[in-house]
Amino acid sequence: MKKIAIQGVKGCFHHAAVSRYFEGDHYKLMECSSFRELAFSVAKSNVDIGVMAIENTIAGTILTNYSLLSEYNLRIVGEIYMPVQHHLMAFPGQKIEDIKEIYSHPMALLQCELFIDAHSDIKISEYSDTAASAKYISVHKKKGLAAIASENAAKEYDLEIISRNIQTIASNFTRFFIIKNFSQKENDFNKASLRLKILHTTGSLSKILSLISSLEINMTKIQSIPIIERPWEYSFYVDIIFNSIKNYEFMKERIQKISCLHKLSIMGEYKNGRISP
């Protein structure tokens, strides 16, 4: 039976991602209180697999998680895009007028800004996890306190949803990486995540991106992350999708010969998890 680490507790969006990606498999969840604990557990083989949120269509990229992947030298072996619907929930029998304070994870709060602004009289407090805030209310039978979390969390902890779909943008998705501390060579992949360390010279990034484009490889994401020990210098995280593995392998060979490249790291080679409408 697989042991899978998530950030959060049962009923959280990470749990939902595991349920979708590993549907039909038998697994045991390891609940982690932080993304660092998740990354550490995967790196030390305390679990077989980790599932880690990396970006959201409203709140953007979780930069610290890219840093954790690099720090612990973790490999991306898959991805899944999950629709995210946030609901306001509380101990049964209450209405919105009874709520004095809302708990939730900072990312969830950010994704529900308009709802929060419309209820400015309610105190907002950050919590370690969406589902954990729901669990806290349930365990302690707290009245006057609400959580922003998933419908699964409401069911898991017997809370009542008092306001549905409160996310600012209806089409709200979170992308999750499936991570391991190693990866086997796969032949069936059409996406890769790269980390580029580039010399601090004029036009260096442009040269590399031009090479990628010339080989008909589609760059779907580029993200700069500061290199802590070298102020004002950055690593670039790049996601690419391709139809030809031959072109991809040729790109890796050519890119190593570009003089402005300090280091190329392959963070993962996997199947594109985004299903086109």
List pLDDT tens digits, range 107-165: 899 999 999 999 999 999 999 899 999 999 999 999 999 999 999 999 999 999 999 99
The dihedral of CA 190, 26, 73, 237: what is its sign? Answer: positive
pLDDT at 93 over 70: yes
pLDDT at 261 over 90: no
According to DSSP, the residues that pair with 223 across neighbouring strands are 237
Distances (CA, A) of 118 to 55, 59, 62, 95, 121: 26, 19, 26, 16, 9
Clarify whether residues 200 and 253 are in a common domain. Answer: yes
Structural domain count of the chain = 3
- The pTM of the full predicted model, rounded to 2 decimals, is 0.89
Clarify whether residues 23 and 79 are in a common domain. Answer: yes
Clarify whether residues 74 and 12 are in a common domain. Answer: yes
pLDDT at residue 220, as a whole number? 95
Summarize the chain as % helix, strand, coil (round to 5).
Answer: 30, 35, 35
Burial zone of 38 (CB within 10 Å; 0-12 exposed, 13-18 middle, 19+ buried): buried
pLDDT at 276 over 80: no
Clarify whether residues 15 and 137 are in a common domain. Answer: no
Clarify whether residues 215 and 252 are in a common domain. Answer: yes
Q: Is residue 41 domain-resident?
A: yes
Q: What is the pLDDT of residues 21-75, one digit of tens each?
A: 999 999 999 999 999 999 999 999 999 999 999 999 988 999 999 999 999 999 9
Clarify whether residues 151 and 199 are in a common domain. Answer: no
CATH code of 258's domain: 3.30.70.260
Q: Is residue 71 domain-resident?
A: yes
The answer to whether 107 and 56 are in contact (CB under 8 A) is yes
Clarify whether residues 26 and 39 are in a common domain. Answer: yes
- State the Cα–Cα distance between residues 251 and 267, nearest whole angstrom: 15
Clarify whether residues 72 and 198 are in a common domain. Answer: no
Per-residue confidence band for 277, with pLDDT thresholds at 50, 70 and 90: very low
Clarify whether residues 47 and 176 are in a common domain. Answer: yes
Burial zone of 197 (CB within 10 Å; 0-12 exposed, 13-18 middle, 19+ buried): middle
pLDDT at residue 275, as a whole number? 66
Query: Which pair of tokens denotes residue 202?
Result: 């004029």
**204: containing domain:** 192-268
